[in-house]
Structure 1
Amino acid sequence: MNKDSITCLVSQYLNNEINSIQIDFESGTNSREEFYLKTVKRLTRAYELYLEKSVYKDDYLLALRDYLLTFDTAIKFKKDCFLDDNEYGIAFDEIDQKYFASFQLPSYVNEKFVNEAFIRTVSEQHVAPDSNLLTDPMIYAMTGYTHFKSLDQKLAVYGALNTPEGYTTLVSLPTGGGKSLVTQTISYQKDRLTIVIVPTVSLAIDQVRVTKQVIKRDDNDNEIFSYSSGMNAGPILKAIKDKKAKVLFISPEALLENPSFAEAIKEANKCRYLNNIIIDEAHIVVDWGATFRVDYQCLESWRNMLLMTNPSLRTILLSATFEDRCIETLKDFFEVNGKWIEVRCDALRHEPRYCVVRAKSNKEKEKDIVELVRKLPHPMIIYVARPIDADYIKTLLSNSGIKNVRTFTGLTGSAQRKKLIEEWVDDQYEIMVATSAFGVGVDKGDVRTVIHTYIPQNANTYYQELGRGGRDHLPCLSIMCLHPGDETIGKDRIKKRVLTTKKIWRRWDSLYNNTQSVRSSNNRVFIDTSIKPNYANDDIFDDSPISEADRNWNIYVLLFLRRYNLIRILEVKIENGHYFILIEIVNDRLRVIDDVLKVHIDKIREEEWDFYNSSYNMMVNAVRSKSKECISELFYKTYSKVYEYCAGCNIHDIPIIGDSHKFPLKNRVDEPLRVLSEEQLLPFGESNEMVVLVNDNERMNLLNRLVEKGVSMIVVPEGMQNSENILDINSKRNILVVVVKDVYMLLKAHGYYFTSGLVAVVYPDDERIIGQQYITIKNNLCGKSATKIIHIIKNNAYVNEAGKTFVELVDGPSVLPSVIYT
């Protein structure tokens, strides 16, 4: 990309000397170039909009400012009257006779951070060259990808792909780290169906778009689907029935409340066509599922019903980061008979620069918001607490001249959501005002600013939302703009999340002792959740219609009792929004509605309230008075598996780096280990290792044969020439390709889950390195349970370190390539 030629074209275009800019806006070779090209694309779109309707003048100026600052350039205009007295920091240079942009930032914004977020003074981070990021024959054939983004992504993908039948694997991978590849590879690992449960329609739509781009198949449109309420489900149901569907992205509500899907999935599961359940953004099961998205916690009983018919069904839980309490709840819901794996690659984001802005009044806050929108880089997301707030901010900006703005909330219809996402990704507008309904997982990498106009309920919610910025691994801004009343508003919203002990107790009494509830002799009760409570006053449930409040609170009470293991939820049936829940009473206290039960409920209710309250107070304290400590402390305290990192905040503008050169796997993954077949064990005899002497021409044939026989890992020398030939192996199976250093680090982290099975170790020709590589493999990998090593070497080299030839050194047979696994 030649910046000088681009700036010349832009100047000609804006001066009407050429009709269009002949540039491929998708041709960037790295994230920085991609952002530069998209900046020009947004400028041309804004200019076209302005030419159509002069009311979009300010939106054009906004895009022009972004362009001038990002490219650090100036421009000469033939017509300049429209730039007089603008509020975007665009000024005229009397000497050069050109217009340029200056920051002109308010005093509460750090100019260094803004300079970095305009991508003017930073370079991209590069992966250390000693990590082997090669994919494998299956992934290469499926996607065309030769390399992973990072070692983190590689471990996350194989952590999921290696999941044994019947297991649940929880995988964490930082935002922007390529978590979608986990879903894509799992879905095409076998010729079966994967259901991906996503929190928002926007994410479902976006995931289908991205998956169809990534997966190299001729029949994508008949294999990859998303469903949301109001869509025609016919083609999807037919594809499932005909066993052609590979992946379905769907919300928990659409999954549980549509009887056609329930029946189709039941049949697919019965014949073992259903292979995987993936819950994306799985932290939401805990964060949202306890209150306004109750269907998330109903997934437990839905999955358990499927497991009764198909115990080989695999479950994958995905998110960027997990709190310890979240892990405990997810494990309680989704672990069965100890079949639980955690692959934790948690890490704090390196991209955000944080700023907390405190206004004295709401009027001053509104003024600050407008100024931030005018002066900070775009694309930009402005997060608000409620749909009504989104409309208000949009009107505020419109009244200030900025009109090319969209809103996205829980009230936005399905068709409109799809259109908004497509236009957002296509850069047809650059400001989105939204509630948490937008953005979870949406794959727009170049968002440069995320503004919060409210205090999120906890650090995890805040972190997930600000994580929409900088997904391209370039700097971004996270701005929180508040006034004193925001703390009270937030506290009031928290109070609505937990019923009082008296109301929980009385609602349970209403549900358990109502004539509509059907009891059986084995502690089971079939409950109709539409039952009215035995007290008169109404309970408001979040932002739901009052007509649904009783039902939602009744479900809340049952889920509350389940989270504290007083009951088990065996089945959830939903008919036209009517929830019927079959429960099993685990704690006999629930049978008698007395003071003993009331005291017990009060105790666990206080535990729940304390969590919500303390989480919110931690947020408030972190942002009060423009923050008195580094903002990363908030996240470092929230996530136990991360190392500290902060690129800058109100307290400091020099990065705090606590995770440099840290191995990405943050937890032990001791088991499960692979089970080797008798055929795989046969050539080894009583040994754990063997040697195969093979020349260069025969080596690929040997590796082909080994992959067919189920080799799980290939260890290659660092810098091995032609190692990418492994991708052309005929057998399209998953193989973890690593260098010796990565093997050592995996074993040091107790990652035996990754290293067990049949392992092929390829040695270099350089005899000086052969001995070092063997000693590392011998000391760390040989002798490990459920691991057999095949050493592949060209010549029987003499190993100086041991004073023996290689064959003498290996404690096992030496065989010819022609006889191994024939």
Structure 2
Amino acid sequence: MELKPIDILSKYYGYSSFRKGQENIINSIIDNKDVLAIMPTGGGKSICYQVPALCLDGITIVISPLISLMKDQVDNLRASGIEATYINSSLSQNEYLKILNDIKEDKYKLLYVAPERLDSREFMDLVKDKNISQVAVDEAHCISSWGHDFRKSYQIIPYFIKKLKKRPIVTAFTATASLEVRNDILNILELNKPDVYITGFDRENLFINIIKSSSKNRYLLDYIENHQNESGIIYAATRKEVENIYEGLLKRNYKVSKYHAGLSNEERAFNQEKFVKDEIKIMVATNAFGMGIDKFNVRWVIHYNMPQSIENYYQEIGRAGRDNEKSECILLFMPGDVHIQKYLIDVGIENTNRKKIQYKKLQQMVDLVHSNNCYRKSILEYFGEELKEDCQNCSNCLSEGEITDKTIDAQKVISCIFRMKRSFGTTMIVDVLRGSRNKKVLEQNFNNLSTYGIMKDYSNEELKTFINTLIAHGYLEVVENIGTRGSYPTIRLNDKSMKVLKGELKVQFKESKVSIVKYMENELYEKLVELRANIARENNIAPYMVFGDATLNNMTKTYATTKEEMLNISGVGEIKYERYGKYFEDIIEKYLIEKNIDKNEVIKIEENSSQDSEFFEVTTDKDLFEKLKQYRIKKAKEENVLSYMILNLTTLKEISGRYPLNEEQLKDISGVGPVKIEKYGQDIIKLVKEYTQEKNITPKWQEKNKLKLIIDGDNRKNSEIVLDLLNQNKNIDDICEELEISISTSLGYVYDYIKSGNSINFNLNLKKYYSDDEREIILNAINNFGENNIRKIKYVLPDEIKYESIRAVILEKYL
């Protein structure tokens, strides 16, 4: 082995350490042992078989259930510089033949195949004599009839392995496996004295929230409105429900798509690709959208209907937060969900034993929903794992929301049902309580009841929700009635109902709150996201395959502008740095210059954070400033760049007033980082030393640290300076040149000033920044995306249209 596993992890994946359990699993495989590994979704299962594949001689065959999953994995490997491919039905004949030839020539380290392919004589003839180091079975729970995604084709795998000339290491990986499923995997795959690893099912970054007392539709719309800048998945039980939710969100102009078995393969693949590539934010789907979603930045998952099993539920919420960032998982429960799932089991499963198994799993899911204990603890117990303390990260643990006493309203409902003498459905009960004059109510003489019309203050939807909440908490019961036209549920009282009616039991509900994310505008992050999208588009891969969201966030926090700094960021390996690193460095460097940011000042830990902030005042030495400007002009000509890209004016003024005489002092100057010091540091120090000696100046150096820099007593922000100069009737082009900022930035300052309710006393010639044709195109984009979303507008416009053109057209209507 040329590289150790940790070296491979660093070089190809950009991580400095393994996650929990990964290293032990990898070492077992390298030691030629079979392995069964049960790890949570997002726990890094794929690395556990990919790293050994690069350590071992020969090729690793990965058996994977879905075409889309294979493609994502292979694209990700290729983006990291690893030779990998897949064989499935999506390939053309020429592509297929080329891959076969490449396999013969040992080009690949990893080959992904669907289980159905293992039964092909052509494929068997190709690989049976090859040096296969490992057969890795991904989503191994599919082999078990107890598994929630059972696939008969998976049972071909042990026969395929037996036909190989030499038995390879066999490894199996899954995220959700009960004891029965684990035993099936071990026995059916005939693993040879395997090392079994259960690294834990807990996903600590996921907040689990089960809502039993809110209108689903209202909650959903409120939630999406408050989280519209995040990626999320909405799971619904039926195609019809998916279509309804999708249409509703589409009408409200959300970037949404859909996925269910009623769509063609092409449409499903197209919609999924748009979601993975961040071209849409929301996917509405049935559980057909389960495996194969290798998207790292899903921030929330909402179950609009309760799933059939805890395995389904945990697998699906596991699509959130695969980058280990905090994410939210919400289940919107109504009693009708149980009936929907029973119906789906009845019509979808013919085998009696399988049906019994699924009914049992459904009841376990219902028990979870009604549990008053820590949801995470209950889920982990289901999978055989003990959580000693409550998680404090689920809605049962946290006391979010206000407790409200609903006893009187509950008594009104219960009293009405009691007086109606026999069981009726929710609709009839609501009609009586709200005082409806419909024919059925009057025929039953319910208009003469004392409870008739006593809950008019509730809307129809609100009252249905309240009754359903009473049912969910056990204060009422649902009875399934089978008739000639199918089943229909009715409501009846129980022991708890009568205790509430007699005042022996209080009804208290916690009103659910919709979490709010205030989207914080981060201009540098948006620039990096845009660059990532362009790179991904050029390479026909998903954006996260370039760098993940967390990696980009860390770039913005550390202002990484050197190879060393980039490689210190998790997710930036040597291969990815060589491919993409310089592009991101350039954007960050340019941003630091444009914004006059000293990154060392920003990222330095403040030792005395309790101290009050003070100003650090510097007075420009005009003579030294002019010498520095001449030096900057010279270097700009040599490098064929604009002068401000060498050092900006504020930096030159600060140098002239502080007289740094060594590299350590130069690091404390705003806008001077390691790259600048390496390029220009010695020249600047020499220039300053010669000047101070010539002028007989003895500098008294003082560290600036986190103090706010004030140059020549001017405490104004750039925006204030621009507006002041414009009010002095100075030309905006001259101002931008003087301050070394872009026209677009200056126009943005004017726009923000006007939108804050201020009026201006100067004129701007905006027409010179766009043509008539450009204006028409820009206006169309503004109508589609709104004037506040400059980045989206720029994205859809032709490349030749500049940011200042967009700003000018937007600003035009306010002047």
- Per the TM superposition, whether the score is higher than 0.5 is no
Structure with the largest fraction of strand: 1
Higher relative contact order (CA 8 A, sep 6+): 1
The structure number with the bigger radius of gyration is: 2
TM-score class, shorter-chain normalisation, is 0.3 to 0.5
